[in-house]
Structure 1
């Protein structure tokens, strides 16, 4: 499954490639409203240009099959540090939101833990009435677990509004409610002009500006979002107990995210489309394993995108609730990353060095460069921005370091975790079933499959986006298998049981 959201930054809630737009600082705004509007539009156009570049790069790499190739060489020693970094690198943002009111954030976390963990196994009977039978139980539903995130959000949101009106507690920073319900006169006048229905169209905010700085930032955004999205796909599969997505699923999923980012930017949005770690965390807490929930989520996002007033109403959610939400959902990335250690030889000195070095450097280097950006000075401002953006993102540092070290430092297959049981290596041979049949898990809808049958699947670049089941299979012993970084071990090699080449995995992505 793919979890896609229109997020608060180009990399979704992962915060690996955001770009803040502000027309001016407090006390420095021009007096003329027209000048303020022009400066705001100019800054917005540059950010939109970076979003378009990011989306175009992801589409191009997906069509070329780069993501599928990289996914074949991502073993447990790559996934474990990467997911750990994705989860740990977001503590600053969670702290920032929670610090607006630690009481609300703590109450949210306690309620989520109680509903999802302590009461998660409590099934509530659903009654129905029939004239012939009267009241009878028709089903038992784990109601507390399913609504373990929605109930605390609604209850604390309502409680915050009531306590604020009673002047008992101030849940909003600086005492101001964001959005259209702010009590200031300027916001009240603006609220009257906010329509209930407004359909965006291309060119409404002018064309995106493709400056050199926008290109550099866009490339960095594409790198960060690609690494994070691949981690989200694998994390979602782990939470659901499914085999890892096949190569074509990575190519197709990230390409569609890039296409969505381009469309959003041309429609006037300064935000892009990316996979969402909090969505995967919500999946783990609620245990709702249905594609219909993703369909409903997408439909609601479309409807909210056409109603500015309803969207602004959602901005009334206290920031402390957002902080609590991030605190409980990003733990999923940390937990899934730790779980991949079970497939490796954790006592190996090779593995200890790779894990420690990748995680430590991914947290150390970005922190230092964010505090001392003046040390990057090549004389070319665009190049300085590009280098600084690459060095200031933990997910890029950790992902690249873990990938290079695991695939270049010598080690046995058992040390690297490439043994039977690793969900990234599934078998299609008779008598060696994988955790679950990936062909059924990632099967495309029938209408999409019929459409693919009408296309030329063997031609480039459609070959990299189509399911492996629609392409010629690679027979065992073919020369193509020898180029894989993750070879199939022989019986007894490295102390592990034989694994299956990831290049043989069959399956398609369920969109």
Structure 2
């Protein structure tokens, strides 16, 4: 095995575009540095994770901000467990698992059914009995969402552990992925306007701070004390503005809101006031452990399950792409089939757990944290595991989640405007591999996106238009057709596979080439994907099980490398 200095020296003379890492996937920083870097991962995923329970609360008819705090704590708790499962028993890449926006659209579609319309609740938190009634109103809806997530996650477990994901990916290219992911952001624009409209001035300040930090100041480094094995304790420049633009924006805008609240610039009923939810902190418990069934026994409906499958498919597609990106940025060889299969399967298990505990959502790989790997040049698996432990510990303190539920609505609205725009752009970015001079491609992309918006909008404005005579079937079609990503993604996938086109024209050739690219000099052994403690790593029957590692001999490893599946480096 080469030392780090030897890898760096070789990379200087290599013709391959390589990434020099401070710590590779199989290397462990000192414990104190690992904790600090792990906390940085926590902060990186903080903004997106915080957003989901806040978005979903009104759809669940939640009227108590204490409940929102409990949802936030539950989400972080489950994210920490899911990350530990993935990094230990899943694909074993340093990839953070967090809550996903992909499930929001089908969730809103499910909760838009007439039987789940929110009643006109007044502030009934003055009596114990009325609080109980209020809780039952939103918990009924939460249990329906939980059941849909749990059953649909079984599909993800199935396609992962059976190896079916490899077969399904043959029919999915950038023309399918682009509309599917883009429609996640486009379909959520009403949420942006609802929150930002509470006070557009504060929302614009939030947007401006995020823009300035992430686009203009992202390369400015602030000297901070740090430690390395070569230099010991010293100061180094850290791109604080580029790493934490969302956190900085929340702090700055919150300060403005506090000033305007104290000076009575805001009216007494304004949602921009910092004291509008001040009672939440005193009402929230100091210590609370989320557990399966905390909101009651989940309920199941076919409509909810079929709708959530759209979120599962979008999450799987996104995760597979994230695996390849994470591998390259962490100094690992491209993930072999068994690691991808196991990663998707374990994500399904984590989604099942998220549904059972009741986050109101599911988990998937976090692209934001993959970007953090590239910025920090630290790809250590141990660092991400430290971050996961911090997520779990902090989530146990009830007042921690309650504190963040008091963020003023227009601040959240400003964050949503930027975040959903970024999600839309990430989907569109997949079209860089596609021939956009092709009328065939332009027709499929444009038609899929427009129909993904038109059909759900039509059904929202014309309730009961689907009438097959079977109530269950009506609900299934309604939820599916109200889910924009399901409509757009299905149309794009069908047309892309039915209308004649070359692999170059469809962008599949360049797309697959990108996922096969790898750095040859700063790469770890293929055995970083093996299960821990030597579980099944040398069993002869492993070759018959698609999620277990199997290497017949060194020649087999070389053959896999020639196919672009593995690194050429074999440990001595």
Q: TM-score, normalized by length of structure 2?
A: 0.67
CA distance in 2, matches of 1:413, 1:154: 48
CA distance in 1, matches of 2:211, 2:525: 30
8 Å CA contact 2:218, 2:242 repeated in 1: yes
* Bigger shift: residues 331-340 or 242-251: 242-251
Matches within 5 A, 1:50-449: 50-126=148-224, 138-169=235-266, 174=271, 181-182=278-279, 191-192=282-283, 194-210=284-300, 213=301, 215-231=302-318, 233-234=320-321, 247-248=337-338, 250-267=340-357, 269-275=358-364, 280=368, 283=371, 287=375, 290=378, 294-295=384-385, 297-420=387-510, 422-424=512-514, 426=516, 434-436=517-519, 440=524, 444=528, 448=532
1:450 alignment counterpart: 534
1:494 alignment counterpart: none
Distance 1:445 1:276, change over 3 A: closer
RMSD between aligned residues: 4.4
SS state at 2:206 partner: helix
Distance 1:295 1:72, change over 3 A: farther
1:25 alignment counterpart: 120
Tell me the number of residue pairs that the alignment of Structure 1 and Structure 2 aligns: 457
8 Å CA contact 1:81, 1:355 repeated in 2: yes
1:452-480: per-residue Cα shift (whole Å, max 9, x none)? 416676476x41x346878997999xxxx
CA distance in 2, matches of 1:344, 1:109: 31
Distance 1:58 1:27, change over 3 A: same
CA distance in 1, matches of 2:530, 2:373: 31
Q: Which runs of 5+ in 2 are unaligned?
A: 1-24, 26-40, 57-74, 76-98, 228-232, 568-572
Distance 1:289 1:449, change over 3 A: farther
Distance 1:66 1:162, change over 3 A: farther
Select the residue among 49, 64, 73 that pairs with 2:147. Answer: 49
Quote how far apart the aligned CAs of 1:403 are.
1.6
1:336-389: per-residue Cα shift (whole Å, max 9, x none)? 444433322221221121111111111211111122131012233222221111
Distance 1:474 1:147, change over 3 A: closer
8 Å CA contact 1:208, 1:266 repeated in 2: yes
1:155-201: per-residue Cα shift (whole Å, max 9, x none)? 2123323322332236985577699623xxxx68xx44x32112233
Highest RCO, 1 vs 2 (Cα 8 Å, sep ≥ 6): 2
Q: Which runs of 5+ in 1 are unaligned?
A: 130-135, 427-433, 477-499
Quote how far apart the aligned CAs of 1:398 are.
1.8
SS state at 1:17 partner: helix
Quote how far apart the aligned CAs of 1:286 are.
9.4
8 Å CA contact 1:86, 1:228 repeated in 2: no
CA distance in 2, matches of 1:443, 1:5: 32
